[in-house]
Every structure is written in C-alpha cells, then in structure tokens.
Amino acid sequence: MEGLIKGLIDVALGGGGRDGENEDRDERSRSSWAQVVSGEQDNDDRTHGHNPPNQWRRQEESQQEHDGWEVSGSRPSSRPHKAEYGGYEKDEGGDHHGYSQSEWSRKEQDNENNDGWETVGRKPQRRPHKVRMDHWQGYKRSPSEQEYSDEVETGTSIEPSEEELADLSQACNRLWQLDLNRLEPGKDYQIDCGEGKKVYQKQDMAEGSLFYSLSEDIFRRPTFSRFCSLLDNYNPNAGCKEVVTSEEKQEQSAFIEEISRTAPIKYLHKYLFLKGIVSENYQDFKRMMTKLWFDLYGRGGTSSSSSAFEHVFVGEIKQQGEQEVTGFHNWIQFYLEEAKGRVDYQGYILPRRRGETPDSETQLLTIQFEWNGVLKSVSSTFIGVSPEFEIALYTLCFFVGGEDNYVQLGPYSVNIKCYRFGDKIGSVFPIAEC
C-alpha cells in the first residue's frame, strides 16, 4: 500500500525517470553557449582573379597580427541558408521585392524568451527603422520623366586654387568644406560606438547597434535617396555575374546627374579639367563618371561580376575558401542593413594612439561587424558624409593620387587607400591615421 501511494504521488508531482531526462534536456536547451575563437582574420579587400602584390594582403590595417590570444564567450557566426541581400530579392524577371515585414515579426517572436528563460549574452533586438522609399522606383523611369534638383548655390567660388592644384591634401580638404549635405552628429543622427577591440579579437564588444537614430528627412535629400535606390541592384556574392537592366542603367545615370549638380562634383570636374585629365564638356565628364563607377568587370574569376560602386559602397562576400566580406565602406549601406538586422556591429577597432577614442561625434570610424553572418574583421568608413562627397573624394584620389594618399579632411588625418584594377577602381577606402 505504501508503495502504491508513493507511486501515485510521483505521478501527481510529475516525477519519474522520464521526467528526469526531460529536465536534463530542458537544462541543455536553456544553457548559454560560447565559442573559443583564436587566430587572425585576414579580411582585406582584394582584386580577385589577378596576382595582387603582397600589400593587398595587408589592406586597411597593418596591425592585423596574431599574438596567440584566445577569446571565449564570443557568439558563433550564423550563416543563413538563404541571404536576402540588400533587403530585396530579385525574381527571374529582375523585379525587386521588399523585405517581408511579417517575416521580420515572426523572427522576433521566435527569439522571445521561452517560459521566462532569457538567453544569456543576447544583444538587444534590433527593430527596423522607417525609411521612406516609395518614390525610389521613379528613378528607374526614362530621362524625360526625371526631376532633378536645382544647381547648387555655394555662396563661394568652387574654382580650385593654385595651392590646391599643387597639393592633393588641400584639394581633398576643400571637398570636405564643400560637402554641404554632410550630416551633423547629435542633430541628424546618433551613434553608439560601444567598446573597442583589437582586430584579432572576435568577441562582440557592442551591446547594441552602431546607429541609435537617424532623421527620416535624410532620405528625402535627392542625392541620398538616389544613392539608396542603387543599393538593391546587386548580388553581393563575389563571382556572381551581374545582370543590369535598362531601368537600373537609368538609375545610375540619374544618380550621376543628381550629384553633378552639387558643389563637390563641380569642384572635381574643374580640378580634373585644369589638370588636363577630363574634357571641359560637362556631359562628357558625367558619362566618364558613370563608366568609372558602374561599368562591370571581372572579380573572383567571373566576368561582369563586380563594379567600383558595388565593391566600395555595397560590399561583396567572397565565396572561394572561407567566406569573407570585402569592400562595404559606406555608412548609408551600413545603416540600412543594420536596420534590417543583416549587419551585426561588434565594436570599433582601438586606435594606435591613446587619447583618440571615438565617440558619438566621430565621423571617421574603424569598425568590426558581421554581414549576413560573415565577418568583416576591420573596415574603415566615414559617418554622415554625403554620397557626392565620397564619389568626388575617391575619384580625385584615383586620377591624381597613388595607392596611399595622406590627406587632411577637416579634423581628420586620413590615408585614402586606392587600388587600381587596370583603368578601373578596384577598391578605395579611408584609413584613420591616428
């Protein structure tokens, strides 16, 4: 009788051997995970398909060294089976489909804590920011249907001085001064740099996103919105042949036309003309700019798989060997991808000099992040600058400068690293000289 009573009590209380197994399984499912990461990530931008010089393997930061550190507690990279790059998908007809909001909601619901248990070390969830883009499709229309901004009025001359013509650094600094569309930190946007780290350290040093907020009005600015409309035109898988539609070509021309009405591009044209590099004819200059930035070339062994614009501003993911992110040096692309949950910001790279710690006012950052689960161990990017400024700066350094271009941009001492791919831009990006 006593045994029978005990058995009934066990059943009532949910005891027994099977429940013990369930409890062990529950504990295993609730336990936090960690992964030990060690070694050096050589995550440089390379011109694939050629035999690049050794310095290509030391791009962006010479401090990528392995001191035998092991970092525990970092989160393993999640490699999605199907990545929806740029927030869009293309069907066989070339149409673009917006990122599914319901899918995002389901993912967030799936990540909610289970039965009151919280995943240890999980970063705060990112929620999509609102980006007004209902008018972007209009940029694919014919030239006769396009509406452009009025010619910019700077209030000052945009004629290059003799000093600027003789000194690339002064010319680049003039571009910085002419960037009337550059955003103001704290007013137009807010960032949280998180904690610093060495390049070889793989643990996540950022509790949340890099971008805390960005004014919605920014995407109503013509050069910003036209720039954004281009970002979904590419498949970032390096070695994947691009198919450019007539509508996308119109978008490219419309973007060049829009930025050509701004002070930085007008200054660039005058500078290159006075140097004897381009024609005085502005229409010829705009056609040259379109070809320079958007004409396709081979990268990763496949023809017509890349362009200067795609590599520098959109980013690419190398598929041969271990996956790695190359290019991707634009803050607008970073903001949009982070807002969609595709980018995981993991902290800034510690500067070589003490006392140079970046803060919310900084407009030149060297950072580490994952894009679609693939690591970019070190990447330098401007924050808040306009698309026309970056296009003008990089084009100027390509035509007038060399591989290393040490220039002053406002308060920042910068090396604009420029790699050539024949007569094309292979890669170009800033490195903070601090």
How confident is the model at residue 432, as a pLDDT? Answer: 87
How confident is the model at residue 190, as a pLDDT? Answer: 94
How confident is the model at residue 239, as a pLDDT? Answer: 81
CA pair distance 311, 332, nearest whole angstrom:
14
How confident is the model at residue 382, as a pLDDT? Answer: 97
Name the stretches of the chain with pLDDT < 50: 1, 4-6, 8-122, 125-127
Calculate the CA 134 to chain-centre distance.
22
* DSSP state letters, 56-112: GGG-S-TT------EEEEEPPPP--SS--GGGEEE-TT--EEE--HHHHHHHHHHTS
* DSSP state letters, 333-376: HHHHHHHTT-EEEEEEEPPSSTT----TT-SEEEEEEEETTEEE
| Known catalytic membership, residue 6 | no
How confident is the model at residue 168, as a pLDDT? Answer: 98
Q: Which residue among the candidates 329, 340, 417, 424 is catalytic per the annotation?
A: 329
**E strand or H helix that includes residue 292:** helix 282-294
How confident is the model at residue 64, as a pLDDT? Answer: 33
CA pair distance 97, 89, nearest whole angstrom:
5
How confident is the model at residue 93, as a pLDDT? Answer: 38
Q: Which residue among the candidates 140, 376, 417, 424 is catalytic per the annotation?
A: 376
Q: Which residue among the candidates 48, 197, 269, 311 is catalytic per the annotation?
A: 311
Calculate the CA 17 to chain-centre distance.
53
CA pair distance 131, 208, nearest whole angstrom:
20
- Give the Å distances, CA to CA, from 71 to 78, 91, 368, 409: 18, 42, 15, 36
- DSSP, res 232: G
Those residues whose C-beta lies under 8 Å from the C-beta of residue 3, and which sit 6 or more positions away, are: none
Those residues whose C-beta lies under 8 Å from the C-beta of residue 80, and which sit 6 or more positions away, are: 372, 373
How confident is the model at residue 82, as a pLDDT? Answer: 32
How confident is the model at residue 156, as a pLDDT? Answer: 67
**E strand or H helix that includes residue 271:** helix 263-274
Alpha helical stretches, state H, 143-184: 162-166, 168-178
Counting Cα atoms < 13 Å in the Cβ hemisphere of 337 gives 26
How confident is the model at residue 135, as a pLDDT? Answer: 66
| Known catalytic membership, residue 66 | no
| Known catalytic membership, residue 376 | yes
How confident is the model at residue 238, as a pLDDT? Answer: 85
CA pair distance 32, 316, nearest whole angstrom:
32
Burial class (CB in 10 A: 0-12, 13-18, 19+), 295: middle
Closest CA to 366 of 205, 212, 197, 241: 197
Its pTM stands at 0.72
